[in-house]
Structure 1
């Protein structure tokens, strides 16, 4: 690695649209499942990982498909954790890899090439965005395209995102795309990997985090995103990420949180 600094002395979480990059944080979380794809990369000691009811495996680099129950234990703070929103263009670069398996071991060559893109100096917003884009580019080489999403599912997802506080009923959504309710439910599960209700919760979690990071109180943010109260949001967040929301929503000594604007993202114009 030469004189590169693999992580900050203080952990940092960079959020850009539906994507995120966490560096400099030791992790030991309970089983959880979330909508994003995960890229886990060790710049120091290998980490331990398992999915579903499987055995623990040691690894230095993995890609994990969306909606996979998983658990991570790191031995140091040198593991980089990327969360890639399947609704964004970045996922199109490498999402086709999951056709073979929901968990893909990265080759030594891929890990080395991705780590070569670590910033030479301290982490900051533009450097984090550049690393994210570099990693996605490496992962996408020779990866099959995951395929276009059904336009009816795209329309339904857009309708939900635009009406989070009072989302349309299943009947209204189904009528809007000329499907029966049962056919819409089946199509959404096949396309997204999770039921429509769980996808709506993911949209609300993402919106609550965005609002809280821009200054709203947790209660205000949760209510504006459509949660019954902040406790409902907290339970949902913990179930999805295996962490309490306070671990990423509060500026404290362990984790520095930075929301990246399109301008600070520089050459990475993939907003999610």
Structure 2
């Protein structure tokens, strides 16, 4: 009924407006921001649960899944359509005209959405939000395992941990090398694989080519650092970007917003927590109206 996709390790992203902090405390002299939801990054995916606010027309590299009561989306044709679930293709202009108080959102690297195709209903205008509606109801549980399972169902293939010994070694090498330069040739040699073989194993087991995997890992590191109170420059250096401007351009292209907007007010689930955490409404502040400052768009 749905299409296909894969998971792997760390990564992150969001859509039009704000996303947010991990679990650390605010730096001295600053108050801890109100939490509006939770977020997690894996290889090629960003997961978010919480308030989803309204936002202007924009587009970004990642495909986007939205689920929640009362959502109203607008496409490039200007027409607004109410729906409870939508799958927006990558690089597609879209706007959230009406948000939801307790929604789910996933950003998915296009490399992992192989068989997913937008549905063009008869008589529907090109660029219409009506094309994005999917048959999925908001689940009873709005936690990370539930959202990850929904994405897996949507793309057709459940994620699995890497099993190839060379790939496992390569992933360890990448973690140890970041935030420094990560070169395919160097990683392949250290993992005792040819460059072509390592590239093939990345696509086969992680659903991502080598370079996008490294980029998602840098994005996770940058947003995690920002959520713990780092400055833009500090976060850029911690993730291996050339400077704050380079990091900001990359995050906007991938996720549709500035990194500072994506790293305030959200509980970030660390990779170590992802296999055992069930994040729920305890991390969402119920006092904010939909679309108010501090809600994701």
Q: Give me the TM-score of the superposition, normalised by structure 2.
A: 0.58
1:200 to 207, 210, 214: 214
Q: Could you tell me how far 1:259 is from its partner in structure 2?
A: 3.0
After the TM superposition, which residues 1-272 of structure 1 pair with which residues of structure 2 at under 5 Å, given as runs?
Answer: 12-18=36-42, 19-34=47-62, 38-48=64-74, 58=81, 60=83, 61-63=85-87, 68-78=90-100, 80-83=103-106, 100-102=115-117, 106-107=134-135, 110-111=136-137, 113-114=138-139, 116-117=140-141, 130-137=142-149, 144-146=156-158, 148=160, 149=162, 151=164, 152-189=166-203, 192=206, 194-250=208-264, 256-260=265-269, 262=273, 267=278
Between Structure 1 and Structure 2, which shows a larger proportion of helix residues? 1
Contact persistence 2:251–2:259 (CA under 8 A): yes
**Aligned length in residues:** 221
Contact persistence 2:167–2:201 (CA under 8 A): yes
Match of 1:243, SS?
Answer: coil
**Pairwise CA RMSD:** 4.1
**Runs of at least 5 residues in structure 1 that lack an aligned partner in the other structure:** 1-9, 87-94, 118-129, 251-255
Q: Could you tell me how far 1:33 is from its partner in structure 2?
A: 1.4
CA distance in 2: counterparts of 1:245 and 1:147, whole angstroms: 27
Bigger RCO (CA 8 Å, 6+ sep): 2
Match of 1:101, SS?
Answer: coil
**Runs of at least 5 residues in structure 2 that lack an aligned partner in the other structure:** 1-33, 119-131, 281-297
Q: Could you tell me how far 1:237 is from its partner in structure 2?
A: 0.5
Contact persistence 2:182–2:214 (CA under 8 A): no
Task: String of CA shifts for 1:217-242, please: whole Å, max 9, x gaps.
Answer: 22112112111111111111111011
Contact persistence 1:13–1:248 (CA under 8 A): no
